[in-house]
Amino acid sequence: MIKKFFITGTDTNVGKTIASSILLKKATAAGYKTAGYKPVSSGYQNKKYNLLNNDAIILKKSSSIILSDQEINPIAFFENAPPHILSRLKKKNIKKKELSLGLRKIISKSNWILVEGAGGWYTPLSYKDTFSSWVKKEKLTVIIIVAIKLGCINHAILTEKAIISEKIKCGGWIANNIFPKDKYNIYYIQTLLNYIKSPFLGEIPYLNDKNKINFKEINIQLPK
């Protein structure tokens, strides 16, 4: 059975890629043939890897199967700005069928696929479509990454409600401590546990060095 998940966040820069990396490695350890997929990216951040987007580089390294740069990230923009705006300015349309074609290629090679979105749940692909409409079309199970910070409670509740309102399965949420823990962190998570009905998959501790992550020491469950 092929498992397909979509990673979204309560905002941009909440740790979607770090969470994706950990989940991919845990799924690999569980015996799956894993693949990360970043269908749309903006911002080339690493010249060492042929100017490949940094998120795509991490997904590529974290996957158990070998994928080309194009397979990992078929639609990429050089500048760091919302994809739908760059799409308009560069006259390069983001077509949902192209995203789906890329997903089909990866499905043919793996049985545990993690698709990483851009920004939050309603990030636009164009002036008519958001990522959410494509996720619904592909029937992907969604995982929410919640950055533990001021404002995260409202954002997390709204994100889950939006996903459920579109009759899309929410497979769970992950708390990511993007700042060193303070006395309020535990209360943020306790509050979210009361309001978020989807399964709590675990918590990512604050990471001083994101390049040295021991995924075995991070207590996160694989979504079902």
The side-by-side arrangement of strands in the sheet containing 200-204 is 34-37, 112-120, 3-9, 141-147, 170-176, 200-204
Give the Cα separation of 222 and 100 in Å (integer). 24
Query: 48 a known binding residue?
Result: no
Query: 205 a known binding residue?
Result: yes
CB-based contact 39:76 (threshold 8 Å): no
Query: 14 a known binding residue?
Result: yes
Query: 46 a known binding residue?
Result: no
Query: 18 a known binding residue?
Result: yes
Query: 42 a known binding residue?
Result: yes
CB-based contact 188:154 (threshold 8 Å): no
Query: 130 a known binding residue?
Result: no
Query: 117 a known binding residue?
Result: yes
Query: 206 a known binding residue?
Result: yes
Q: Which residues contact 188 (CB under 8 A, 6 or more apart)?
A: 148, 149, 152, 153, 175
Q: Which residues are catalytic?
A: 38
- Outline where the chain has alpha helix (H): 16-29, 54-62, 69-72, 83-89, 96-107, 131-138, 152-165, 185-195
CB-based contact 147:13 (threshold 8 Å): yes
Q: Which residues are annotated as a binding site?
A: 13-18, 42, 55, 116-119, 176-177, 205-207
Annotation: binding site for ATP: 13-18, 55, 116-119, 176-177, 205-207
> From the annotation, which residues make up the binding site for substrate?
42
Annotated binding site for Mg(2+): 17, 55, 116
